Structure formats: structure tokens, C-alpha cells
Amino acid sequence: DAGVIQSPRHEVTEMGQEVTLRCKPISGHDYLFWYRQTMMRGLELLIYFNNNVPIDDSGMPEDRFSAKMPNASFSTLKIQPSEPRDSAVYFCASTPGLANAYNEQFFGPGTRLTVL
Amino acid sequence: QQQVKQSPQSLIVQKGGISIINCAYENTAFDYFPWYQQFPGKGPALLIAIRPDVSEKKEGRFTISFNKSAKQFSLHIMDSQPGDSATYFCAASLNDYKLSFGAGTTVTVRA
């Protein structure tokens, strides 16, 4: 398996523009997570899905952020409009969600977003 | 408000030495405590994890010690190697999925 795939790997945009980050989880994994990593705030969970349904979006910073999972193999995180403070590395992760197991979250390589 | 406090922020250890990273939590309902390792430019990867029904778990050179009464847990890296140089994150969760991460510890192993 290729692991979790994220695109683009780098994104540079100007303030006010819409940004869409994409993620393909590992096949067969029922849970998908979006994280944001910054020096100031560390690694933060933004939202996670189970079987394509959002379970907890309490980490989404504000209404400018939205996430969708239209099917089991694809998810997007959209920021509209983007602001310089959104600059961060955004990670997608997935896990199978097995009972009585350590549910390791497999992280993708991340998307480094820079908002000018 | 950070639910998991991690220290130190960074540490330097000689090759062959022991690295110790400490974490403390407040929520007694947490029941899953993983440690993730992250190399520059990569996503975090699970290193080792423990549940509160055991006080210690060892996998190779990596050991988690867990103190439920003190609400603390720690990672020990024995015989540290230059390849262990990375950032380590502790985390805690109620349900295996909603992880609260510590701030991270950058470990540098000098040859």
C-alpha cells in the first residue's frame, strides 16, 4: 500500500484566496483525521471522520475551514478565505478502527501551506 | 488549553546514553497513551503505546513507564543512536481516536 497520500505537498497562496487540500487514506481504513501543525500550537486535531461521516469537528478553528469526505477514498480540507495565520503544515491520517487494538494513526507526508 | 504537558522541550544525549521524556495529563478518563516519532519533513509515526492497566511497556530500546496515580507517563530511549534524533510527541485519548498531543521534544543524539 502507498500509505496516506496528500496533495499538494506545498501550497503558496495569497491572503483571501481559497485553498483546497486533498487526502487519500489507506484503503480499508474507516477513520480519517485532519491535523494542523505549527510551532506555536503544536499538533492539533481539526476534525475526524468515521465511515465518511464527521464525528468531531470541535478543533476546526472557524467557519473559514470546512472538510468533506464524499467517499471512503477521498477527503478535502478547504480554507476560504485564507489568512496568513493559516500558514502551517496540514496532515491527514487514517486508521482502521479495530476493536481491542492499538489504533495506530498513519500520517501522510503533509501539505505545507504558506499564505502571503 | 493543552491537555497533555510534555517536557523537556529539547534534549541532547550522547550516543549510547539514555533519553527520558516526561508527560503529565489532567483528564483521568484518558485510557490510551501513544508516543509518536517525527523526522523533519515527515508525518508523525507511532512508536509505542500503552493503556493504563499496565505500568510499563517495552519494545526494543523504547520503554513507556506509566504512573496512573500521579497522572504521568514517560518515554525512555535506551542506548540512544544518532538515528533516534527526531521529535517525539506524547499523546492521550479517551477513545483511541481523538488524540491530544503534547508540545513535542526534540532529541539530538551526538555521535
Cα–Cα distance measured from residue A13 to residue A2, given in angstroms and rounded to the nearest whole number: 28
Cα–Cα distance measured from residue B37 to residue A43, given in angstroms and rounded to the nearest whole number: 12
Cα–Cα distance measured from residue A61 to residue A73, given in angstroms and rounded to the nearest whole number: 25
Q: How far is CA A37 from CA A55, A101, B10, in A?
A: 21, 26, 18
pLDDT of A59 higher than 90: yes
User: What is the pLDDT at residue B1?
Assistant: 61
pLDDT in tens for each of the 111 residues of chain B? 679 999 999 999 999 999 999 999 999 999 999 999 999 999 999 999 999 999 999 999 999 999 999 999 999 999 999 999 999 999 999 887 899 999 999 999 999
User: What is the pLDDT at residue A98?
Assistant: 78
Average pLDDT, chain A: 95
User: What is the pLDDT at residue A1?
Assistant: 64
Residues 3-42 of A with CB under 8 A from B: 4, 31, 33, 42
Nearest to B46 among A45, A56, A105 (CB): A105
Give strand ranges (E) for B1-111: 4-7, 10-14, 19-25, 33-38, 45-50, 56-59, 62-67, 72-77, 86-92, 100-101, 105-110
Q: Any CB–CB contact under 8 A between B97 and chain A?
A: yes
Nearest CA distance, A15 vs chain B (angstrom): 25
Taking residue B53's Cβ as centre, other Cβ atoms within 10 Å add up to: 8
Kindly state the average pLDDT of the residues A68-80.
Answer: 97
Q: A72: closest CA among A115, A106, A23? A: A23
Helices (H) and strands (E) in chain A, counts: 0, 11
User: What is the pLDDT at residue A100?
Assistant: 64
Q: C-alpha grid cell for residue B36?
A: 509518536
